């Protein structure tokens, strides 16, 4: 028993490290797809999210998300961490797959991811102070409560809603907040002018590509660790479906976008890979390889249409976060009811109810947080700060001081 626990726990710790490494991927992707003059600002936000996110999850979030016996909607087991102890030492009977401490750290890495999704969508024009306050409330309170409804044994779990690794619980929770934020913030100066969509090319496609490849690697831990043990059959199947969906998403996205726009757009290729990963996440442990390819390919097409829809609505999302994490998160969650082991009309409706519940909760809570910030501190930097770059105005430095003038 103890030997199996050790093997399982080591795998879970490796997966925790891989999910942590995803934050490097998010940072590189975001700075790569945005302009040079906002690089430090984006890096600062990503560092803030992971550091403060872990502290909040320790002090508050973990026991909000896993309160034990509760009414299914809201519960709280108290502040801080209090590990189960037996005979004066850590109780190794906590779980067959991992110890209490590993459980906390693995789940804490997920919590920070939800806010990172928002970071990319609001890039280049949000006030740093306002964003940091949003992160405190969203990661500290909103995400854990939402998580408790399924992973904490809440009402959606009892209903039979299924989300293996977080297409909805992580990606859509972040995606809904991103959508609300870009609606309240407004578009960057010059993005929509005279009925035309302005192009703001990212300053480093190598960084963006490295970021996506790192995220793909990190998803081995994101989905593989969600097996919650080193079970050889489930873990290997999960990694296979995850990789196939990513590959199919990328290929479908670049083919579909090239047919529509007559060029090979690497940003669509990159976001297609991510869309495939997000899409498979809800049911990675249930799908056959063929199912995974179909889910990923559909996600790749959805990405192209989703990005076009966001632009048509005159919503400015610099990195495509809403299309990737929200729209593909919804698709992946519903796909469980189409392709999964429990596929059928009843499961599909249950999945739809779950999507609706999270939509309502996240839209309302994120709107309240952002709207209060807009009325008090303000959400958006001044036109001068936005034009000259947040790095100089918010941080007093340039990300690349030895490479000439700051890119405008």
Tens-place pLDDT, residues 75-86: 999 999 987 776
The confidence score (pLDDT) of residue 284 equals: 97
pTM of the prediction? 0.94
- Measured distance CA(150)–CA(91) in Å, rounded: 25
The confidence score (pLDDT) of residue 85 equals: 72
- Segment 325-361, tens digit of pLDDT: 999 999 999 999 999 888 999 999 999 999 999 999 9
- Alpha-helical (H) ranges within 313-376 are 321, 328-339, 345-375
| CATH code linked to domain 2-71+93-395 | 1.10.3430.10
Does 41 have pLDDT greater than 80?
A: yes
142, HSE (Cβ side, Cα atoms, 13 Å): 28
- Percent of the chain at pLDDT exceeding 70: 96
The confidence score (pLDDT) of residue 2 equals: 66
For CA atoms 138, 143, 144, 145, give the dihedral sign. Answer: positive
The confidence score (pLDDT) of residue 408 equals: 47
Q: Which residues of 79-116 are buried (b: 16+ CB within 10 A; e: fewer)?
A: eeeeeeeeeeeeebebbebbbbebbbbbbbbbbbbbbb
Q: What is the mean pLDDT of residues 162-181?
A: 97
Residue 385 CA: distances (Å) to CA of 316, 352, 391: 18, 42, 9
Element (H, E) at 57: none
- Segment 220-245, tens digit of pLDDT: 999 999 999 999 999 999 999 999 99
**Lowest-confidence pick of 133-137, 173-177, 193-197, 258-262:** 193-197
- Segment 124-166, tens digit of pLDDT: 999 999 999 999 999 999 999 999 999 999 999 999 999 999 9
Q: How confident is the model at residue 87 (pLDDT cuts 50, 70, 90)?
A: low
Domain ranges of the chain: 2-71+93-395
């Amino acid at each position: 028993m103890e030997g199996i626990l050790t093997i399982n726990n080591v795998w879970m710790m490796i997966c925790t490290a891989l999910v942590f490494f995803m934050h490097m991927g998010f940072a590189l992707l975001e700075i790569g797809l945005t302009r040079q003059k906002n690089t430090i600002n984006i890096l600062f936000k990503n560092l803030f999210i992971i550091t403060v996110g872990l502290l909040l999850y320790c002090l508050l979030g973990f026991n909000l998300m896993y309160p034990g016996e509760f009414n299914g909607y809201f519960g709280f087991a108290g502040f801080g961490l209090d590990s189960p102890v037996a005979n004066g030492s850590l109780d190794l009977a906590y779980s067959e797959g991992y110890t209490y401490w590993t459980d906390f750290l693995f789940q804490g890495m997920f919590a920070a991811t939800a806010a990172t999704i928002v970071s990319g969508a609001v890039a280049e024009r949000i006030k740093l102070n306002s964003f940091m306050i949003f992160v405190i409330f969203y990661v500290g309170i909103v995400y854990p409560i939402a998580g408790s409804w399924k992973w904490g044994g809440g009402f959606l779990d009892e209903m039979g809603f299924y989300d293996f690794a977080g297409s909805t619980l992580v990606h859509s929770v972040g995606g809904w907040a991103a959508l609300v934020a870009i609606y309240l913030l407004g578009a960057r100066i010059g993005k929509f002018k005279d009925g035309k969509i302005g192009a703001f090319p990212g300053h480093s496609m190598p960084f963006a590509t490295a970021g996506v490849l790192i995220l793909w690697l990190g998803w081995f831990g994101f989905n593989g660790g969600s097996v919650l043990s080193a079970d050889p059959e489930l873990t290997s199947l999960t990694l296979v479906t995850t990789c196939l969906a990513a590959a199919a998403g990328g290929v479908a996205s670049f083919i579909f976008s090239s047919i529509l726009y007559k060029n090979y757009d690497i940003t669509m290729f990159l976001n297609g890979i991510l869309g495939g990963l997000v899409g498979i996440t809800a049911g990675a442990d249930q799908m056959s390889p063929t199912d995974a390819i179909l889910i990923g390919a559909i996600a790749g097409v959805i990405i192209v249409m989703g990005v076009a829809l966001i632009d048509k609505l005159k919503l400015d999302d610099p990195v495509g976060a809403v299309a990737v994490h929200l729209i593909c998160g919804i698709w992946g969650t519903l796909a469980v009811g189409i392709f999964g082991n429990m596929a059928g009309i009843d499961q599909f409706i249950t999945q739809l109810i779950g999507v609706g519940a999270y939509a309502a909760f996240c839209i309302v809570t994120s709107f309240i947080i952002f709207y209060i910030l807009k009325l008090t501190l303000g959400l958006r930097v001044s036109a001068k700060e936005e034009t000259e770059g947040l790095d100089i105005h918010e941080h007093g430095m340039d990300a690349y001081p030895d490479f000439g003038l700051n890119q405008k």
